[in-house]
C-alpha cells in the first residue's frame, strides 16, 4: 500500500530537506516568496512535515500480515484492505507524528520569523524577542517567550485531545489514562 518506487524516489529529497537546517533555508525562502507570512508558514511546514511523513510511513508499513491475509480470505478488495486494515493501523502513528509536528511547526515558525522578520519588518512574537533583546527590555522578552510556550502547550494538548477522541473507542494503543 505504500509504493517502494515512490519511497525510493522521494526519500533523497526528503532526507536533504530534513537534515538542512531551517535557519539556512529561511533566507532563500524569503527571497523566493513575496509574503513574509507565507515564507514563515513554509519554514514551519518544512520543519513539521517530515516527522509526520516518517511516522505515517511507519504506520502504513506496520500492518500485520495476518490481518491482511484474513481480510483476503473474506475476499476484501484493495480499497477495503486500505480502509479497514491499513489506515486504522496507521492512524495512531499519524497522530503521534502530528503531536511531534505541532511543536516543531511552532519552532519552525519562530526560527523563520527570526530570520525573515528583521528583513521584512514582519512583527510577530519572535520578532518581538529580537527587538526587545536589542533594547534590553527583558520583561518583554520573557513575555514573548511565555506566550510562545503557552501556544505550544495549547497546540500539543489540542492534538492530544484529538488523538484521544479518535482512538479511545477502537484502538488498543489508547487507554483512558492517556
Segment 152-171, tens digit of pLDDT: 999 999 999 998 888 887 76
More confident residue, 6 or 122: 6
DSSP annotation of 136: T
Q: Annotate 98-116 with b (16+ C-beta within 10 A) or e (fewer).
A: bbbbbbbbbbbbbbbbbbb
Report pLDDT for 150.
96
Q: What percent of the chain has pLDDT over 90?
A: 28
Report pLDDT for 102.
94
Q: What percent of the chain has pLDDT over 70?
A: 91
Listed range (4-8, 39-43, 111-115) with the worst mean pLDDT: 4-8
SS3 175: coil
Q: Examine the pLDDT at 90 and tell me if it is beyond 90.
A: no
Positive or negative torsion for Cα 178, 168, 172, 49: negative
List, for residues 45-63, the tens digit of each pLDDT value: 999 998 898 898 888 888 7
Report pLDDT for 98.
94
The three cell numbers of residue 81 are: 484492505
Domains of the chain, each with CATH number or no CATH: 4-167 (1.10.3720.10)
Amino acid at each position: 500500500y505504500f509504493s517502494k518506487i515512490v519511497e525510493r524516489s522521494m526519500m533523497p529529497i526528503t532526507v536533504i530537506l530534513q537534515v538542512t537546517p531551517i535557519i539556512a533555508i529561511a533566507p532563500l525562502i524569503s527571497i523566493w516568496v513575496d509574503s513574509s507570512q507565507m515564507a514563515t508558514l513554509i519554514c514551519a511546514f518544512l520543519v513539521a512535515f517530515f516527522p509526520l511523513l516518517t511516522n505515517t510511513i511507519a504506520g502504513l508499513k506496520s500492518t500485520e500480515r495476518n490481518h491482511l491475509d484474513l481480510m483476503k480470505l473474506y475476499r476484501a478488495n484493495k480499497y477495503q484492505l486500505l480502509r479497514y486494515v491499513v489506515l486504522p493501523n496507521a492512524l495512531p502513528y499519524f497522530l503521534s507524528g502530528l503531536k511531534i509536528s505541532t511543536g516543531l511547526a511552532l519552532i519552525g515558525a519562530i526560527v523563520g520569523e527570526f530570520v525573515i522578520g528583521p528583513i521584512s519588518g514582519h512583527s510577530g512574537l519572535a520578532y518581538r524577542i529580537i527587538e526587545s533583546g536589542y533594547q534590553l527590555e527583558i520583561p518583554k522578552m520573557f513575555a514573548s517567550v511565555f506566550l510562545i510556550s503557552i501556544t505550544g502547550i495549547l497546540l500539543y494538548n489540542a492534538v492530544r485531545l484529538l488523538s484521544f477522541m479518535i482512538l479511545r473507542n477502537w484502538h488498543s494503543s489508547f487507554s483512558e489514562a492517556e
